[in-house]
Amino acid sequence: MTPAGKYETTIGLEVHVQLATQSKIFCGCSTRFGSSPNSQACPVCLGFPGALPVMNKEALGFAIKVGVALGCEIAGRMKFDRKHYYYPDLPKNFQISQYDLPLAAEGSLELFGDGQRRVIRIKRVHLEEDAGKLIHAEKGDASLVDFNRSGMPLLEVVSEPDITSPEEAYEYLTEVKSILRYLDVSDCNMEEGSLRCDANISIRKTGAKSLGVKTELKNMNTFRGVKIALQYEIDRQKAVLEEGGKIIQETRLWNEAKARTFLMRTKEEAFDYRYFPEPDLVPFLIDRETVESIKASLPELPQKRYERFVENYKLQPALASIIVNERDLADFFEESAKGYPRNVQLIANWITGDIQGELNKRKLSMASLGLKPEAFADMLKLIDEGVITGKIAKGLLVDMIETGSMPRELVKSLGLSQITDKGALEAVMEKVIKNNPKPVEDYKNGKTNVITFLVGQVMRETKGKANPKIINEMLRERMGKL
Amino acid sequence: MAEGLYKLTACKIRDLIEKKEISVDDVVGALTERIQKTDKKLNALISLEKADLKSEVERVKQNKGGALYGVPVAIKDNICVDGRLTTCASNILEGFRPPYNATVIDKLREKGALICGRANMDEFAFGSSCETSCYGPTRNPWDTDMIPGGSSGGSASSVAADEAIAALGSDTGGSIRQPAALCGVVGMKPTYGRVSRYGLIAFASSLDQIGPITKDVSDCALLLNAISGYDPKDSTSVDIAVPDYTKSLKNDIKGMRIAIPKEYFVKGIDKEVKAAVLNGIKTLESLGAKCDEVSLPHTEYAVSTYYIIAPAEASSNLARFDGVQYGLRKKGKSLIDMYKDTRAKGFGSEAKRRVILGTYVLSSGYYDAYYLKALKVRTKLKEDFDKVFKDFACIVTPTSPTPAFKIGERIDDPLSMYLSDIFTIPANLTGIPGISIPCGFTKKNLPIGLQILAKPFNEETLIRTAYTFEENTDFHKRKPDI
């Protein structure tokens, strides 16, 4: 019997990203999502005989951007190849892709999420066209094909097998997505299929020299799904090895509902794609000047921004990493910091707390939320000035989002100013003492922490407008006299 | 005047219409009568719809003029015409009406030409005899027991028999030049990239080129003018200004250096063909050309190289004919059955042979040995030609090693069939332009063709040389007795 040993995991990821170009990669059809089936298709993306592909320059520019951002070497000469397999959603029964001369290769990406730097090497980045979508009709035995997606520009980013855990895979995906969003080349919406991921995974005894036999995982639809599927696969492979079995090189499909992987095909059943150079597209020469000018025009990328946030704003690394992850969150942070430089840590807390909460609730991005950083900064000032309480501010933030008004106007129109007048507060305090005999009795018996409860009651009565500090003082004084 | 109009050339017809001596209706009427009389014997034109012809005439009448005003042109059945049957003479494209025009069709119509019929061809242009068509074989007007050559057999036969004033064909390994030679007409394969391939149903994308088949060299220049030029819809078309080819119709080759490659006059060539071509060379010399023997040492590898590259590309291009979107569909029990049955029923045996051959040479493990090696030989062949063109304006050879052969003679012997393109294939592999012109007749009154080859984008040299030869000989004036 083999003693259960320790294993290490090796993961490589292939990410397919739909580029947010105006038109498809080889024709003029629109790339809009959600149009009625087959309304965005032409002879070229339908693969009609005689129709020919023409390269979309915008897609090429986007792809070079990504290659440069990932620190890749950009090919001076690039060509396309045909990858053959039969499937009804693939109108030509071959996909125009790139085989031996990818657009970009040998890059790397740094992960910095938990403050520890790790480098994941990027093997290659290449362009290809997407296939259509097969829909199985609910009635009858027919299948339907929607070719709106056929010919959408895809970028495939392939990592080296440098990822060592499902958590790291999750982090890698988050970082890739973040970079793509910073570059404004894809909306990376997994639900709309604009970002998809396959994984290669193997395990081996810790310290073993050669890699274990890998399996390929497909059909993971969320980043979380990738993480869970990889963990499932590690456990499955371990179990096989522990029972004295062997891992077989195969492709497995993740089934999210059943939370397990299923065999799709073995190595023997793998397709022979019969790649050969696409004769309808002449090889492209990419001159150094173009690459250099794209390089020069790149925005500050998340990693650099993270370093700057930690360095210049002295933000906690964990908060900084969450904020820089989304470009528009980070932009909002910096704009707000200009209006409220006194306490940027507070800004970060608000962004990762209440603001993130509102975004999640509304399923919106920062850019589409409609909250202006000047307004937000002014709201923080109102707290400092003692005009409103922190608690009122939470409600005010929601009002600001919903009305788009400036905070000072809202405070005025809604009467949200803090009550600091002791006379006004005294009546409320007396009412609270009268209505809560039990806590008051407890206080007298030495349970002084019930004061927090009583402060809360006053706040409730004043709809949060009371100044909690003053109430606290007043209550202590009053109770002392009881 | 209307009588015998069908015998005229495109230049003559346009001039007469311009002078208002005849009308478009006169021409179409004469031609329709001619087709009715002769095409039962020839089967050169297929799927000619009366309503189509009527609408063509109506459309032309709305045009004010143009270099091809009122000229009826037969179109090979692999060139897409919007809304018209375009089947590549294959059952698999049964009923297929493309929703778009090939670029050459738009260009011809712009110049005032009208489409007078779809020309028969070998299925998907696979063949040298026009026997593999699903519509049955086309016959040679000089002897209806004989093949007209192929694959543009219908185009050549219809022009030779005066059923069309001119025609478009496509040439992948000699498919314009060889049938033109065998039918005693003029056929040109332009430089690869000179004429847009958009809308030409691809056989081998890196070799295919559309070109004219005409009654004389002047018409050839006229049609070439009309169809040439860069097309943004075809990435392999070349953006080089198109000269006025009619300006090269000069009766003057004094001092022109012409190369005679010894590899094109070896054993296997028909004695009468050899004698006629050598005679033609003497004629050129007598007109002031300087002819010297040269060597194109890699000639012997051309046919085998071609039969790797062409089927490889064909197997890929024909993958799209699967019964999913258009053409024939045989309902199967499963998806795989549908694919299998559709392709088994839809493709003829030569198409199947080439798909199997092409699939094999692209398969993993064989790619390097076959396809990659073939690409290397292709480069060698190109070097051979580059060397000769350093010193010579053009190269003269026989077009085909034999005159027309009997229908059925080679259909079961693919190898001997493939060898009929031995002299035409090198121009496709190297992309250079070539023209075939009548240069004699056998004792049995079968036409013999002489081929002239020139540097890329030097069609002017071909036209000038061919025109000079034509002006000083009578071969092109002879008409078949049909």
Least Cα distance to B180 among B172, B171, B190, B193 occurs for B171
The answer to whether B98 and B104 are in contact (CB under 8 A) is no
Cβ-defined contact of A93 to B319 (cutoff 8 Å): yes
pLDDT in tens, A132-191: 999 887 777 788 999 999 999 999 999 999 999 999 999 999 999 999 999 999 988 877
Å between B400 CA and nearest CA of chain A: 28
Task: Please report the pLDDT score of residue B11 as a whole number.
Answer: 97
The SS3 of residue B478 is coil
Least confident of A154-158, A202-206, B244-248: A202-206
Enclosing domain of residue B30: 5-256+392-477
The answer to whether B75 and B167 are in contact (CB under 8 A) is yes
Task: Please report the pLDDT score of residue A406 as a whole number.
Answer: 85
pLDDT in tens, A249-308: 999 999 888 888 898 888 777 789 999 999 999 888 999 999 999 999 999 999 899 989
Residue ranges of the domains in chain A? 7-293, 300-414, 422-481
Task: Please report the pLDDT score of residue A454 as a whole number.
Answer: 86
B124 within a domain of the structure (yes/no): yes
Å between A35 CA and nearest CA of chain B: 20
The answer to whether A277 and A81 are in contact (CB under 8 A) is yes
Å between B267 CA and nearest CA of chain A: 35
Residue B450 confidence (pLDDT) above 80: yes
Confidence at A113, pLDDT banded by 50, 70, 90: low
Q: Which two tokens stand for residue A181?
A: 């969003």
B418 within a domain of the structure (yes/no): yes
**pLDDT: which is higher, A270 or B114:** B114
The SS3 of residue B292 is strand
Query: Does the ipTM surpass 0.90?
Result: yes
Q: Which two tokens stand for residue A364?
A: 């919106």
Out of A52, A84, A281, the one facing B316 most closely (by C-beta) is A84
Mean pLDDT of A424-430: 81
DSSP B176: T
Task: Please report the pLDDT score of residue A5 as a whole number.
Answer: 60
Least confident of A163-172, A315-324, B231-240: A315-324
Residue A48 at interface with chain B, using a CB cutoff of 8 Å: yes
- Within 8 A by CB and 6+ apart from A192, the residues are A33, A34
* Residues of chain B with C-beta less than 8 angstroms from the C-beta of A91: 320, 324-325
Residue A4 confidence (pLDDT) above 70: no
Least Cα distance to B213 among B273, B172, B153 occurs for B153
Residue B9 confidence (pLDDT) above 80: yes
Confidence at B465, pLDDT banded by 50, 70, 90: very high
Residue A3 confidence (pLDDT) above 50: no
Residue A115 confidence (pLDDT) above 70: no
Cβ-defined contact of B235 to A94 (cutoff 8 Å): no
Least confident of A82-96, A420-434, B117-131, B390-404: A420-434
Confidence at A421, pLDDT banded by 50, 70, 90: confident
Q: Which residue has the tokens 């003492």?
A: A433
B270 within a domain of the structure (yes/no): no
The answer to whether A441 and A454 are in contact (CB under 8 A) is no
Task: State the total domains in chain B.
Answer: 1
Confidence at A479, pLDDT banded by 50, 70, 90: confident
**pLDDT above 70: percentage of residues in chain B:** 99
pLDDT in tens, B65-93: 899 999 999 999 999 999 999 999 999 99
d(C-alpha B219, C-alpha B71), whole Å: 11
Residue pairs between chains A and B whose CB atoms are closer than 8 Å = 96
**pLDDT: which is higher, B346 or A248:** B346
The SS3 of residue B117 is strand
Out of B96, B322, B371, the one facing A86 most closely (by C-beta) is B322
Residue B2 confidence (pLDDT) above 70: no
d(C-alpha B185, C-alpha B167), whole Å: 11
* Residues of chain B with C-beta less than 8 angstroms from the C-beta of A60: none
User: What part of A 18-47 touches B (C-beta under 8 Å)?
Assistant: 43, 46-47
Task: Please report the pLDDT score of residue A2 as a whole number.
Answer: 39
Chain B residue closest in CA terms to A49: B201
d(C-alpha B340, C-alpha B93), whole Å: 15
* Residues of chain A with C-beta less than 8 angstroms from the C-beta of B357: none
Mean pLDDT of B215-224: 98
Residue B176 confidence (pLDDT) above 80: yes
Q: What are phi and psi of A419, to 5 degrees?
A: -95, 110
- Within 8 A by CB and 6+ apart from B417, the residues are B127, B128, B129, B410, B411
Domain A422-481 has CATH 3.40.50.970: no
- Within 8 A by CB and 6+ apart from A438, the residues are none
B160 within a domain of the structure (yes/no): yes
Confidence at A114, pLDDT banded by 50, 70, 90: low
Instruction: Find the chain B residues whose C-beta atoms sit closer than 8 A to any C-beta of A.
Output: 79-80, 86, 88, 93, 96, 98-100, 102, 197-202, 204-206, 232-236, 312-313, 316, 319-322, 324-326, 335, 339, 359, 362-364, 367, 371
B12 within a domain of the structure (yes/no): yes
Q: What is the CATH number of the domain that holds B192?
A: 3.90.1300.10
The answer to whether B148 and B120 are in contact (CB under 8 A) is no
**pLDDT: which is higher, A292 or A444:** A292
Cβ-defined contact of B324 to A50 (cutoff 8 Å): no
Task: Please report the pLDDT score of residue A279 as a whole number.
Answer: 97
Cβ-defined contact of B359 to A53 (cutoff 8 Å): no
Q: Are strands B257-261 and B394-398 parallel, antiparallel or unpaired?
A: parallel
To the nearest 10°, the Cα dihedral for A296, A302, A308, A313? Answer: 140
Residue A91 at interface with chain B, using a CB cutoff of 8 Å: yes
Active site positions of B, annotated: 76, 151, 175
